[in-house]
């Protein structure tokens, strides 16, 4: 009987299920969007029941479309939107509040208070993270502070906290399992990434009872079996990793210094730093990439807020583009950017600048500037932001860059990929299988049950679709970089009083 791996890829706007074969190829997939809930400005929530129902539905759909059943599934891998926070009753599985999404900013003032009180250094040393509302800790605290009787119930062991992977595993096992993996735990701001355990000092600082925290397991082991109420057969849940870490593994960036960038709405760069949690002097995040065969692998992560979103902005707000693919055609219709630089700081600037008061700006406009120059400047801005973070990663690790592996929607744009290679002065490699996030979770699950023998076998499956190499001279690269930094400097601090 043919065997496959099923990945549950639970994202911020949709739930997906993807079935992979032994060659790491996509056999079938299904996807379903769910509601985004905005109770107040800068608040973002999901209904945990919808996360569960859409994920269960697409799993069933993908299996049916593939013409197989549960007996054909060797294992399930899970990858998920990170940091999003769910709290539910241990006995009933009923959520006590909506899931608070990673994008939610309601706890920003509390996080600023922690910074003012001088907790930043201690938190960074223990967790590798900067204090921010992005992570789960302040979200859990908010739920315990605002739901009647919640903290007392938590102390009595009656409540469970989980990131989305934990919530899905609880539901798929009929509440038998309350666990997460080390990569997701490392995004909560409560997990000590050196001792590999929930940190008592941090739990005390956020007033979160330890009784509600899940057990932390490795990223590749048999966690439990699914309940037979969902599939006719019990299927092992055997691989779990947060989405960016799963993409790093799916890209087979298994050696120190290997780097992947995911080009989505934002851009996420992650560099494997091996068994050393590299300390960043550039406000990058130190995180656990995965735990495999008793060994912890660490990574350095930086994020760009406006990646593909800047192209959406040109299409939806400015009307310069009919569709995202037009951006490449327009960019190539002019010889260069005509001196136009666009800084897409519509939501402030992320790493390494971290300026929340910066705003989106266009510089260098003349009477000869056209929509083609603006489209080209927008695409170039994505590449410049990636270079700024990669340079920070190189500075933090002293590891030189030879290649960058890429995935995500925007990597279909050949102009952007070529310009990225030009500005990095390094190879940019686009793989055959672009579903690298789901693939990484499938690989972790497959390794745990012997579907694949070892990492070397997985490396043999990874294949290149297209390779981009630099064709730009150093003089022009320096000129472009200098103008970009000049533009960024002028966009900073714009909204300050």
DSSP 411: G
Question: Distance between CA atoms of 265 and 73, rounded to whole angstroms?
Answer: 32
- Helix (H), strand (E) counts: the chain: 16, 23
366 is in an annotated binding site: no
Q: Computed over its alpha carbons, how large is the radius of gyration of the chain?
A: 22
By C-alpha distance, which of 58, 69, 96 is closest to 2? 69
- Beta-carbon count within 10 A of 121 CB: 9
367 is in an annotated binding site: no
413 is in an annotated binding site: yes
262 is in an annotated binding site: no
- The answer to whether the CB of 396 falls within 8 A of the CB of 402 is no
Point out which residues pair with 267 in neighbouring strands: 263, 304
What's the order of all strands across the beta sheet hosting 427-431?
285-292, 295-304, 267-274, 259-263, 403-407, 427-431, 464-468
134 is in an annotated binding site: yes
181 is in an annotated binding site: no
- The answer to whether the CB of 205 falls within 8 A of the CB of 113 is no
- The answer to whether the CB of 471 falls within 8 A of the CB of 326 is no
82 is in an annotated binding site: yes
- Beta-carbon count within 10 A of 434 CB: 18
- The answer to whether the CB of 209 falls within 8 A of the CB of 156 is no
Question: Distance between CA atoms of 266 and 270, rounded to whole angstroms?
Answer: 13
Give the DSSP H or E segment for 108.
helix 108-116
7 is in an annotated binding site: no
- The answer to whether the CB of 397 falls within 8 A of the CB of 278 is yes
- The answer to whether the CB of 31 falls within 8 A of the CB of 16 is yes
- The answer to whether the CB of 445 falls within 8 A of the CB of 239 is yes
- The answer to whether the CB of 269 falls within 8 A of the CB of 259 is yes
409 is in an annotated binding site: yes
427-431 vs 464-468, strand pairing mode: antiparallel
376 is in an annotated binding site: no
- The answer to whether the CB of 206 falls within 8 A of the CB of 133 is no
DSSP 135: S
3 is in an annotated binding site: no
Task: Specify the residue for token string 């985004």.
Answer: 36
Judge if the upstream peptide bond of residue 352 is cis by omega within 30 degrees of 0: yes
359 is in an annotated binding site: no
* Residues of each annotated binding site for ATP: 12-14, 265, 308, 312, 409
* Residues of each annotated binding site for glycerol: 82-83, 134, 243-244
* Residues of each annotated binding site: 12-14, 16, 82-83, 134, 243-244, 265, 308, 312, 409, 413
* Residues of each annotated binding site for sn-glycerol 3-phosphate: 12, 82-83, 134, 243
* Residues of each annotated binding site for ADP: 12, 16, 265, 308, 409, 413
């Amino acid at each position: 009987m043919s065997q496959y791996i099923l990945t549950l890829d639970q994202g911020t706007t949709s739930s997906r299920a993807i079935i992979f074969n032994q060659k790491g190829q996509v056999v079938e997939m299904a996807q379903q969007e769910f509601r985004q809930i905005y109770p107040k400005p800068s608040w973002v929530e999901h209904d945990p029941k919808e996360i569960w129902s859409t994920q269960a539905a697409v799993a069933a759909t993908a299996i049916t479309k593939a013409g197989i059943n549960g007996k054909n599934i060797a294992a399930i891998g899970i990858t998920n939107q990170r940091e999003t926070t769910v709290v539910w009753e241990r006995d009933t599985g009923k959520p006590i509040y909506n899931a608070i999404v990673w994008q939610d900013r309601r706890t920003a003032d509390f996080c600023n208070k922690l910074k003012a009180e001088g907790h930043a250094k201690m938190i960074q040393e223990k967790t590798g993270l900067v204090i921010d509302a992005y992570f789960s800790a302040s979200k859990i605290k908010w739920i315990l502070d605002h739901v009647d009787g919640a903290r007392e119930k938590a102390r009595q062991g009656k409540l469970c906290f989980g990131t989305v992977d934990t919530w899905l595993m609880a539901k798929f096992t009929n509440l038998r399992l309350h666990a997460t993996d080390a990569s997701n735990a490392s995004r909560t701001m409560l997990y000590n990434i050196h001792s590999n355990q929930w940190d008592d000092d941090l739990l005390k600082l956020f007033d979160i009872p330890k009784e509600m925290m899940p057990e932390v397991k490795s990223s590749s082991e048999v966690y439990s079996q699914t309940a037979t109420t969902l599939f006719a057969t019990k299927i092992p849940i055997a691989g779990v990793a947060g989405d960016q870490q799963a993409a790093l593994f799916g890209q087979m960036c298994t050696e120190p210094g290997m780097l992947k960038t995911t080009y989505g709405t934002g851009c996420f760069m992650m560099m494997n730093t091996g068994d050393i949690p590299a300390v960043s002097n550039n406000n990058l995040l130190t995180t656990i990439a995965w735990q495999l065969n008793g060994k912890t692998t660490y990574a350095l992560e930086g994020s760009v807020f406006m990646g593909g979103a800047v192209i959406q902005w040109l299409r939806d707000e400015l009307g310069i583009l009919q569709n995202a693919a037009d951006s490449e055609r327009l960019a190539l219709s002019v010889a260069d950017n005509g001196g136009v630089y666009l800084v897409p700081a519509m939501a402030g600037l992320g790493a390494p600048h971290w300026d929340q008061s910066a705003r989106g700006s266009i510089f260098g406009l003349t009477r000869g500037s056209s929509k083609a120059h603006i489209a080209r400047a927008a695409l170039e801005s994505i590449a410049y932001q990636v270079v700024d973070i990669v340079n920070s990663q190189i500075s933090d690790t002293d590891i030189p860059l030879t290649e960058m592996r890429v995935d995500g929607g925007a990597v279909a744009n050949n102009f952007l990929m070529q310009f990225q290679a030009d500005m990095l002065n390094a190879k940019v490699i686009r793989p055959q299988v672009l579903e690298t996030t789901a693939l990484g979770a499938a690989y972790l699950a497959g390794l745990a049950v012997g579907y694949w023998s070892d990492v070397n076998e997985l490396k043999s499956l990874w294949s290149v679709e297209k390779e981009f190499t630099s064709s730009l001279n150093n003089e022009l690269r320096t000129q472009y970089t200098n103008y970009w930094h000049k533009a960024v400097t002028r966009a900073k601090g714009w909204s300050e009083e």
